């Protein structure tokens, strides 16, 4: 099972990605309205993030099979932070689109790498609970994002919450670097062997014998 600190680091990384996505849901319309963009341009800027993330995830999955997953997740968080800064500084539609493509690609890097780490170090009997918490972290980020974005946009500016999320993404990368541990292949094989031996022993032991043993 994941150590608490390691799981917290992964939860923070996944939360931050969706927090940034949620913040942009309120900031993008305001920024693009100031730029006098059309509704179709707004729709394109909103949609291209999802297209980029969808396109990149299969390739990110292959990268996770070859390289250290923790490093890939940290690169994704740093890249996501830089793309947020770039988006906030953008002055044209083309710049906004480029920033959104990078956001989608780096979000795919973080989401896929972190969930792969979770899947590799979590025993099957705990997988449901751990994945449930991981899903909740992303849902929470998506819920708090628009709320924070709306409040900060009213109080300061539409770009203020973007800067905040960019800074928090860097913080999440630092936490991930300090606390999370991408498992080595030998560790994974040892974990799988232990789990296989446990399951094999349970199958080999007759049910009535296990029952009697419990009574003793």
Higher pLDDT, 190 or 169: 169
Burial of 107 (0-12, 13-18, 19+ CB in 10 A): buried
pLDDT given for residue 3 in this prediction: 55
Q: Does the pLDDT of residue 198 top 50, yes or no?
A: no
User: Which structure tokens are listed for 121?
Assistant: 């170090």
Q: What is the reported pTM?
A: 0.77
CB proximity list for 29: less than 8 A, separation 6 or greater:
42
Q: What is the pLDDT of residues 84-142, one digit of tens each?
A: 999 999 989 999 999 999 999 999 999 888 888 887 777 777 778 878 888 888 889 88
If pLDDT is split at 50, 70 and 90, which confidence band does 9 have? confident
Residues 97 and 89: their CA atoms lie apart, in Å, by 12
- pLDDT at residue 209, as a whole number: 47
d(CA 134, CA 115): 8
Contact 23, 145 (CB under 8 A): yes
Report the pLDDT averaged over residues 147-166: 93
- 8 A C-beta contact, residue 63 and residue 75: no
pLDDT at 94: 92
- Nearest CA-CA partner of 54 in 111, 128, 115: 111
């Amino acid at each position: 099972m994941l150590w608490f600190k390691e799981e917290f680091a992964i939860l923070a990384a996944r939360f931050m990605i969706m927090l940034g996505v949620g913040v942009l849901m309120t900031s993008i319309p305001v920024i693009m309205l100031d730029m006098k963009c059309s509704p179709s341009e707004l729709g394109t800027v909103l949609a291209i993030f999802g297209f980029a993330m969808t396109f990149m995830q299969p390739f990110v999955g292959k990268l996770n099979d070859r390289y250290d997953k923790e490093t890939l997740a940290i690169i994704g968080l740093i890249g996501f932070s830089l793309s947020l800064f770039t988006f906030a500084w953008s002055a044209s539609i083309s710049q906004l689109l480029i920033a959104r493509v990078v956001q989608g690609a780096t979000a795919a890097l973080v989401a896929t790498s972190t969930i792969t780490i979770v899947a590799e170090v979590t025993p099957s009997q705990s997988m449901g609970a751990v994945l449930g918490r991981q899903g909740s972290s992303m849902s929470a980020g998506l819920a708090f994002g628009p709320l924070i974005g709306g409040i900060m946009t009213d109080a300061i500016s539409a770009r203020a919450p973007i800067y905040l999320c960019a800074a928090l993404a860097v913080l999440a990368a630092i936490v991930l670097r300090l606390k999370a541990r991408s498992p080595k292949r030998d560790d994974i094989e040892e974990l799988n062997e232990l789990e296989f031996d446990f399951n094999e022993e349970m199958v080999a032991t007759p049910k009535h014998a296990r029952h009697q043993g419990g009574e003793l």
